[in-house]
Amino acid sequence: MKQINLIALAMLLFVSASFAQNKMLTIDDIFSLDSKVRVNFGGMPTRFAWSADGRSFRQMKSGSLVRVDPANGNATPYLDSTKFKTALEQSGMSTEDAGRMSNSLGLQFNESETAILVTNKNDLWYYDVASGVLKRLTNTKEEELEADFSPDGKWISFVRGNNLFIVDVARARERQLTRDGGEKIYNGYLDWVYEEELYGRGQKRGYWWSPDSKSIAFLRLDESPVPKFVLTNDIVDNQVVENTDYPQAGDPNPLVRVGIASVGATAPARTARPLCSRLSIASRHILISSLPISLEK
């Protein structure tokens, strides 16, 4: 009888604890001045990134980058971070930055995860995971933006000076695909309107590789008709007056074309003139979703 009572008491405590964990929040739970009553909403959700094959994911555990098998939860080192850190330091990166990058969840791998794209000193570097060799791909004063691997991993694409470039990772030889980029012409790089209103804040890339790595589709934006908008940047310590291309209601938007650049061709990239919102690229064809325009008043 005593044993039955103990079991019943244990079950009651379990049910009470479960109920307490799942009870509805009250005003006191949220705003109480008593820290013992107030619910602590602090903390960060666990961050992870799936591997290219979808069979595992990488995650930070105890300050190290690991590969986790979702089937059983087993974690193994994702790469030799010590060797990677040494290579980064030899390239001129500080010990602190090298340590942080060598165990970063945001490492940019190629699809086979045999190489990592590194940005250091405003230039692009290629790290071979197997050999531990870090090779410099670019060496210019200008910054390379929106860099990405081609699907086959043989090329790196990027935007410099609002022009689209590729570089051969085997020979570190770059080639310019567009030549009319400048203050008013953006090739493969989104302006304020297309980033903010169409592709989403923080998405500046305006180009896409074909699956066979033979071509790149890109947007060419002409900002000439867009009026300048003056604003004050008061986030920085010393306020700065900025002039940016920004169409207010009723103002003209940028003129947009779709360009096709062939990786193997020597001729300039060609462009068409649809007004497009989305691109879906196959090996030989581009599907363009156009925005309907009504001229009726």
By CB neighbour count within 10 A (0-12 exposed, 13-18 middle, 19+ buried), where does 177 fall? Answer: buried
pLDDT of 277 strictly over 80: no
Q: What is the pLDDT of residues 220-255, one digit of tens each?
A: 999 999 999 998 877 878 888 888 898 998 999 999
Instruction: Please name which of 268, 247, 269 lies closest in space to residue 258, comparing C-alpha atoms.
Output: 269
- Using pLDDT thresholds of 50, 70 and 90, give the confidence band for residue 81: very high
What strands, in cross-sheet order, belong to the sheet with 115-120?
108-109, 115-120, 123-128, 133-136
pLDDT at position 186 is 96
Q: Can you tell me whether residue 141 is helix, strand or coil? A: coil
- Give the integer Cα–Cα distance in Å for 95 and 216: 37
* Residue 54 pLDDT exceeds 50: yes
CA 237 to chain centre: 28
Q: For residue 6, what pLDDT band results from cuts at 50, 70 and 90?
A: very low
Least confident of 57-66, 171-180, 225-234, 279-288: 279-288
Average pLDDT of span 40-62: 83
Predicted pLDDT at 226: 94
Q: What are the residues facing 220 on neighbouring strands? A: 187, 257
Query: What local confidence, expressed as pLDDT, does residue 27 receive?
Result: 86
pTM of the shown model: 0.75
Q: b/e map of 85-105 (b: 16 or more CB within 10 Å)?
A: bebbbebebeeeebbebbbee
Q: Show me where the domains of the chain are located.
A: 1-43, 169-297
Dihedral sign from CA coordinates of 192, 158, 142, 124: positive
pLDDT digits (tens, 9 = 90+) for 122-178: 999 999 999 999 999 999 999 999 999 999 999 999 999 999 999 999 999 999 999
What is the model's pLDDT at position 267?
A: 58
Percent of the chain, pLDDT > 90? 55
CA dist list (Å): 202 to 101, 219, 234? 21, 17, 20
